[in-house]
Structure 1
Amino acid sequence: MDPVLAFVSIAAAIAVGAASPGPSFVLVARTSIAVSRRAGLATALGMGIGGVFFASLALLGLHALLSQVGWLYAVLKLAGGAYLLYLAFRIWRGAAEALVVADEGKTAPAGLLRPLLFGLLTQLSNPKTALVYGSIFAALMPAEPPLWLFVFLPPAVFLIEAGWYAIVAAAFSAGRPRAAYLRSKRWVDRVAAAAIGGLGIRLMSDALPPP
């Protein structure tokens, strides 16, 4: 495959995957509504960094490793599922708590580290993403890729992942979505927790051998 066509095809496939609903979408949307736009953008930044991590592993051949070593993939799925369940528990537990929304201009920069780490860990919690990245790269990379592909693909993945979730953060931190959330915080949080927890349970169940 032509290297330029390969680059465009990989970028398009990653973009489609990023836009698919999942725990990352739920976390960015909820953070943007419940905390602030800046916190949502920090979470989006964490998603972008996680995408770069997976892209780098894909370039190093992680897909082949996980396909060959089944127990390693199972361990990663169990760990990822456990993290999602922990995150769901935290959201569910805080669903009934009153929320004081800070003004955008008063959000402390130091307070952005936590949502960034939540975004990064949520992105990294699903080892299936590593296989998706690996499959895309394995299928679309040229047999003898030029050096510039290795240089430009990780930044392109970052821009796609972080850019998409930045759009999500901007959309859900607007006045109307935030006002609607504050009116129905308990139920919105519990739906988000149930969705993330369900994904965690599914991930862990996939790691168990069939009966």
Structure 2
Amino acid sequence: MIDVLSLISIGFAFFIVAVSPGPANISNATIAMSKGRKISLVYGAGLSMGLLLWGIVAASGLGVILQGSVYLLMFLKIIGGIYLLWLAYLSFKSSFNSASTISQNQTNEIGYSKWFIRGFVLNSSNPKTVIAWMAALSVGMGANNDITFLVSAVITCMLVGFFVNAIYSILFSINGVMKTYQKIGHWVDRVVSGMFALAGLGLVMSAFKRNQV
């Protein structure tokens, strides 16, 4: 029989990690304000699937191997850092365009599938996510838990991830929030650009610190 209380503990621990501001949540909020709810929900679904990828890695035991593989982890961190720096560049570049001049046609040209891929790539390119999964799973996991419980725990965290991303999409796409973004969007994009740049540089720098994850 599955321990429901343990699953709740794991889900709550993962919620705390998932809801905290980070590159993924900040980008989702920005997209919700600038592009609208539908685009943001698709992007958030991509973020959630990228999150799930690392959950499978952590649950299958590959997370431990990954943490012990210095050069593989270094490579993944460098790739993830470069991608974050690229997002920083794109955010800074878009800050020079007035939010009010962004047309619906411009949004549709990108396509929903590409927004999904962008979200997936962002979360799947950050190997530090596996640590969050391992921390959350360890909250409710015990020596007597079987594979059924492990799968249930991963599914629970996956649902929490989708829920958090959907909440960000809904809250930041409220009409009043979007109108505010149209007024100060260029400053928001520049702040987001700086946060992406810091996160990207931090990830690249951590790749060369062997004693740190």
Aligned to 1:25: 25
Q: How many residues align?
A: 206
- Of 23-32 and 64-73, the range deviating more from structure 2: 64-73
Deviations 1:159-208 (A, max 9, x none): 11111111111111111111111112211111111111111111111111
* 1:162 partnered with 2:162: yes
Aligned to 2:201: 201
Alignment of 1:1-211 (within 5 A): 3-98=3-98, 99-102=101-104, 111-138=111-138, 140-209=140-209
Equivalent pair of 1:44/1:161 in contact (CA under 8 Å): no
Structure 1 residues 124 and 35: CA distance shift in structure 2, 3 A: same
Structure 1 residues 149 and 110: CA distance shift in structure 2, 3 A: farther
Q: Return the letter of the residue paired with 2:104.
A: A
- Of 64-73 and 150-159, the range deviating more from structure 2: 150-159
Structure 1 residues 101 and 181: CA distance shift in structure 2, 3 A: farther
Deviations 1:3-54 (A, max 9, x none): 4333222111111100111001111101111111001111111122122211
Alpha-carbon separation, structure 1, partners of 2:62 and 2:20: 22
Alpha-carbon separation, structure 1, partners of 2:29 and 2:13: 22
Structure 1 residues 139 and 160: CA distance shift in structure 2, 3 A: closer
Q: Return the letter of the residue paired with 1:12.
A: F
- Of 30-39 and 6-15, the range deviating more from structure 2: 6-15
Q: Return the letter of the residue paired with 2:187.
A: W
The gaps in structure 2 that reach 5 residues or longer are: none
| Identity percentage of aligned residues | 26
The gaps in structure 1 that reach 5 residues or longer are: none
Equivalent pair of 2:7/2:156 in contact (CA under 8 Å): no
Aligned Cα root-mean-square deviation (Å): 2.2
Alpha-carbon separation, structure 2, partners of 1:109 and 1:145: 48
TM-score, structure 1 length as denominator? Answer: 0.88
Equivalent pair of 1:52/1:158 in contact (CA under 8 Å): yes
Deviations 1:69-123 (A, max 9, x none): 12221211111111100111111112112432539xxx85982212211211111
Alpha-carbon separation, structure 1, partners of 2:8 and 2:141: 11
Alpha-carbon separation, structure 1, partners of 2:120 and 2:38: 16
- Of 195-204 and 117-126, the range deviating more from structure 2: 117-126
* Deviation of 1:147 (Å): 3.5
* Deviation of 1:57 (Å): 1.0
SS of structure 1 residue aligned to 2:21? coil
Equivalent pair of 1:36/1:102 in contact (CA under 8 Å): no
Equivalent pair of 2:59/2:154 in contact (CA under 8 Å): no
TM-score, structure 2 length as denominator? Answer: 0.87
Alpha-carbon separation, structure 1, partners of 2:17 and 2:201: 21
Q: Return the letter of the residue paired with 1:100.
A: I
